[in-house]
Amino acid sequence: MRKPGMISSAHNPKIQLVRALVAQPKERRQEKAFVVEGVRLLEEALQARWPFRYALFTGELSSRGASLVRRLQAENISCEQVEPRLFDTIADTENSQGVLAVLEHASLPVQETLSFALILDSIRDPGNLGTLLRTASAAGVEAVFLPPETADAFAPKVVRAGMGAHFHVPIQSLSWEKIAERVKGLNVFLADMEGTLTCWEADFRSPLALLIGGEAEGATPPARQLAQALISIPMPGKAESLNAAVAGAVLMFEVVRQRKLN
């Protein structure tokens, strides 16, 4: 028997909004909201005091999932149960944990003076973008700037790959003109296979911005115009290039290494 008050209709406004937010960047921009799915990510959002609109869940929750729903309810966040079959139609993962939420598209403030920024140019693969954001959070990057050619940072696959980075690192989608203003005074290093300066030789101790180009065609002309130096990663093997997320990780943690030694 269906529990009274349980959402069972695909025409329910909350169900329809989740579908729209999962599918369309335009809807995420217009609604200023995005969807987060899974127990761990919702725990991260709750701990970060991120603004929730509402949560949806099924009765088929793990003990940790049920505990999460109780915590959300204790915070006066609207939580509604959804019939399992209907929930499966809106979940964006194959093996759903039975809980998701619509969060406000809030933006963490960017501090006035930066010493470590990341610019992701034309990164269109959601997995790569999410991994770069996760690595940025781990490496202590203070702000991530995304030019128009880059994928939507709040798409479901990016959020999942980011593993909570969205709740800890300021992420801003800006025009190249605005990005140039924001990194003014920083040394801008562009990762490029043709760079004659290797990342082991470059001085990353001063305030800087790392600029990582796209997976297929590399950096765009505006990125090259902004860059002050081209840096490469030594590769003694036979591979022609590194995945954008891997290259970004190598460079970010070289910054960490140099500054730790300083």
pLDDT confidence band for 2 (50 / 70 / 90): very low
**Sequence-ordered list of residues with C-beta below 8 angstroms from that of 131, at least 6 positions apart, any chain:** 161, 162, 245, 249
- C-beta separation of 255 from 116 below 8 A: yes
Question: How big, in percent rounded to 5, are the helix, strand and coil portions of the chain?
Answer: 40, 20, 40
Amino acid at 206: S
Q: What digits encode the pLDDT tens for the residues 184-224?
A: 999 999 999 888 899 999 999 999 999 999 877 788 999 99
Q: How confident is the model at residue 4 (pLDDT cuts 50, 70, 90)?
A: low
Instruction: List domains and CATH numbers for the chain.
Output: 13-104 (3.30.1330.30), 116-261 (3.40.1280.10)
**Quick count: other Cβ atoms within 10 Å of Cβ 195?**
17
76: left (phi over 0), alpha (psi -120 to 50) or beta: left
pLDDT at 113 over 70: yes
Can you give the pLDDT at residue 236? 83
Mean pLDDT (whole number) for 31-55: 97
User: What percent of the chain shows pLDDT beyond 90?
Assistant: 85
Q: What is the pTM of this model?
A: 0.93
Cα 176–chain centre separation: 19
Q: Which residue has the tokens 């959804």?
A: 82
Distance in angstroms (rounded) separating the CA atoms of residues 62 and 126? 28
